[in-house]
Amino acid sequence: MFVQLHRFLPLTTVEGPGRRACVWVQGCPIHCKGCGVPWTWNPKKGTKVSVETLWNQILESKQKENIEGITFLGGEPFEQAEALSELGRRAQREGLSVMTFSGYYKEQLEELQKPFWQELYHVTDLFIDGPFEQDRLDHKRPWVGSTNQRFHFLSDRYKELESELSTVPDRLEIYFKKDGTVEANGMVPSEVWNRLFKNI
Ligand code: SF4
């Protein structure tokens, strides 16, 4: 079983609660206007990585980085639900939490019956659904881009956050790599991105 992968980050503190490893899948058919990561749309790009390889990287993150969970985002995770649900199952067995983003609303997933969507849904502790809507920017809640996107606390794991979301700040991580390139992740308004990167 394989994941068409855009990027794997062994440790992030800006893509969900606490310290997490993060899996960005490659391929998204939703094409939201104003999407911040259109380079993840093409399902033929990215790298094909086996579930086994990715799982070993996640285990290494657990040992070396003391992560508490993993986050699936994209691209669109529910286009690769079988492989991600397998990773999610293994993660939960290891005591790691699972956070999954989707550009589909839950009702759409029910209607579309994407293969293995229920398996991925059922191994998820914190589920965020809905497409990005650039006219409804969310400046209050962490991790999401627009106010239409919904938080679903599917287990007790992060239940306490439900009433405190507006107190969790959005943050940004920027990596200056040895080869001179810069990588960033996190959710901040586009004007902040523009201000930060206009001289780079
Ligand atoms: S669902 Fe996410 S990755 Fe897909 S187009 Fe919308 S914002 Fe971009």
What is the pTM assigned to this prediction?
Answer: 0.92
Q: Which amino acid, residue 142?
A: P
CA 131 to ligand 1 centroid distance, Å:
6
Residues lining ligand 1, Cβ inside 6 A: 28, 30-32, 35, 37, 40, 74-76, 103, 131-132
CA distance 91 to 15: 17
Tell me, what's the pLDDT at 200? Answer: 57
Residues of the chain with pLDDT under 70: 188-193, 197, 199-200
* Tokens standing for residue 94: 């290891």
Q: Which amino acid, residue 110?
A: E
Condensed to tens digits (0 to 9), the pLDDT of residues 79-122 reads 999 999 999 999 999 999 999 999 999 999 999 999 999 999 99
CA 42 to ligand 1 centroid distance, Å:
11
Kindly report each contact of residues 5-9 with a partner whose C-beta sits within 8 Å and lies 24 or more positions away, as own/partner.
Answer: 5/46, 5/47, 5/48, 5/49, 5/54, 6/37, 6/39, 6/40, 6/45, 6/46, 6/74, 6/75, 8/49, 8/54, 8/57, 9/185
Is there a contact between 18 and 125 (Cβ–Cβ < 8 Å)?
no
Is there a contact between 28 and 186 (Cβ–Cβ < 8 Å)?
no
- The structural domains of the chain, ordered by start, are 2-169 (3.20.20.70)
Is there a contact between 39 and 82 (Cβ–Cβ < 8 Å)?
no
CA distance 66 to 192: 30
* Tokens standing for residue 192: 């902040």
